[in-house]
Every structure is written in structure tokens, then in C-alpha cells.
Amino acid sequence: MQRLAGLLRTGSGLIVTVLRYFAHSLSWTMLVLVVVVCTDIITRKLGLHVPYLDSTRFQELAWHLQAVIFCAWIGYAYTQNAHIRVDVFVATLSPRKRSLIEVFGCLLLALPYLLIVMPYAYEFVRVSYNQGEASSSPTGLPYRWIVKSVLYVGFWGVFLANIAVLMRSLADLCDPKPATRGEAHG
């Protein structure tokens, strides 16, 4: 049992490391977003024209970056227990019962949700790519499939995060004294 738990924890830790790498490095996009929004205002108010980047493109770039930020974090946030919960009634439950809730939640709620939505997310990207979809504005950005695939990749992040949390919670059930206490409910 303990070896199984150890194995599960290693696997879960591996996924979390990968997700953390992407989340942490892509969080710097926030600073880029600040720069993009500020540059847009300054150039527009001063009447400057940046070649290839007029205001429409800046504004479209801004929400492209917004997508990068949240897609990098929706999965990783789950492994760090940052997703909001209504824990009024379960806060006092034992760690074992909370792990059980997590296992059932992953299997019965999260995975069915993701397994049904993700193929549609893929289809969404494919259609956009095949159509060569671009901005509806003539001066907007081309290649809408890029930002749409960011959304699809974000769902993969959530899927992996679910596997990681599922493995971690199963490990906690098999071997109730976690070796890495800090990571169990970080």
C-alpha cells in the first residue's frame, strides 16, 4: 500500500511540476499585458502610429494575452487548491473524508465535464483553422485559431491537474500519513 501511495505521489508531483513550470513562466504575460494596454493608450492619445500595430490590434492583443494568462493557470490553480469552494459544511470533516470527496469529485464531476467539453473545444479550433478565420475587423489580427488553441491547451491543463489531484487524493487514502505533508493540501 505504501509503495503504491509513493508511486501515486511521484506521478502527481511530476504533473504538478510540469504545470507549475508553464504557469510560473507564463505569469510574466501579465506584465506584457500591462505594457500593451498602456502603450495603446499613450500612442492613441498622442496620435502616434506604430507600424502594423494600430489601436485595434493592440486591443485584440490585450485579450489574446488575457487568454494566455488564465489558460496557463486554470489547471495549475486546481493542484494548488486555489479554486473557490463552498466549504461551509465540509471544513470540519476529517482529512480522510475530504480526500474521499476529492476522489469522487474528480471521477464523477470533473472528468465527465472535461471528457464531453474537450472534443468540442478541439472541434472549435479545427473549424477556425480550416476556415482561416481572422478578426472581423479589417485592421485586426489574423489567425484566430492560435488563441482558440490556447483555450484548448488550457483544458488539457485542467485535465492533467485533475489526474494529479486524483492521484494525490488516492495516495492520501492508501497511506493516510503523507510523506510530503506540505504538498498534500498546498
Partner 1 sequence: MVEFLISSLPALMFFCMVLGLFTGYPVAFVLGAVGIFFGLIGIWVGEFHMIQFMNVMPRIYRQTVENPVFVAIPLFIFMGAVLQHSKVADGLLLSLERVLSRTRGGLAIAVILVGTVLAAMTGMIGASVVVISLIALPLMMQRAYNPSLASGAVAAAGTLGILIPPSIMLVVMGDMLQTSVAALFAGAILPGLLLAICYILYIVILGWSKPEVAPVAPPRAVAEDGSRTSALREFLGAMLPPMALIFVVLGSIYGGWATPTEAAGVGCLGALVLAAAKRQLSFRQLKEMLYGACSTVGMVYFVIFGATLFSYVFRVLGGDEMVIGMLEAMGLDTGMHILIALMVGVFFLGFFFDWLEICLIALPIFGPILATAEFGLVDGAQPVLVWAAVLVAINMQTSFITPPFGFALFYMRGVAPASISTVSIYKGVIPFVAIQIVVVVVAVLFPDLILFLPRYWGLLF
List contacts with partner 1 (CB under 8 A): 23-24, 27-28, 30-31, 33-34, 36-38, 40-41, 45, 59, 62-63, 66-67, 69-70, 72-78, 80, 82-91, 93, 98, 101-102, 105, 108-110, 112-113, 116-117, 120-121, 123-124, 147-148, 150-151, 158
Q: Which residues contact 164 (CB under 8 A, 6 or more apart)?
A: 11, 12, 15, 16, 19, 79
8 vs 77, which CB is nearer to partner 1?
Answer: 77
Is the Cβ of residue 118 or residue 174 nearer to partner 1 in the bound state?
118
Please state the closest distance from residue 28 (CB atom) to partner 1, in A. Answer: 7
Cα gap 105→180, rounded to integer Å: 22
Q: Between 6 and 100, whose beta carbon lies closer to partner 1?
A: 100
Contacts of 11 (CB under 8 A, 6+ apart): 164, 167
Tell me the Ramachandran region of residue 47: left when phi exceeds 0, alpha when psi lies from -120 to 50, beta otherwise.
left
- Pick between residue 120 and residue 132 the one whose CB is nearest to partner 1: 120
Query: What are the φ/ψ torsions at residue 85 (nearest 5 degrees)?
Result: -130, 155
Cα 36 to Cα 30: distance, rounded to the nearest angstrom: 10
CB of 121 to partner 1, least distance (A): 5
Write down the least CB distance from residue 142 to partner 1, Å. Answer: 14
For the bound state, the minimum distance from the C-beta of residue 113 to partner 1, rounded and expressed in Å, comes to: 4
